[in-house]
Amino acid sequence: PACSVLRGPIACSNVSVSGTAGHGQWFDLSAPGVAGALRYTLNVDPWLQYDWNGNGNLDNDPAADVVWGIFRGDDRVIHWREQR
């Protein structure tokens, strides 16, 4: 995947990427101790590209924004668990 910084002080070199995409698999991204936002773009074959920028051409690879350490919960919450 290609990486670009959206909001610092994080750098693409601060992030480790592991895993493979396809058949229900996913990427694991970790950036311990840093905050910021990155955009990861997955380089795909032309038949998987889409018009993500709205210019009428099917020539854009899929991308996702990844955020670390920007949002913080309430300090008064001792334990918070999502129920399914």
**Do 66 and 34 touch, CB atoms closer than 8 A?**
no
For residue 56, the model assigns a pLDDT of: 95
Global confidence as pTM: 0.62
State yes or no: cis peptide before 9, omega within 30 of 0.
Answer: yes
pLDDT band for position 1 (50/70/90)?
confident
Each domain of the chain, given as residue ranges in start order, spans 2-68
pLDDT > 70? residue 71: no
Token pair in block for residue 26 = 């996913």
pLDDT > 80? residue 4: yes
pLDDT, mean over the chain: 81
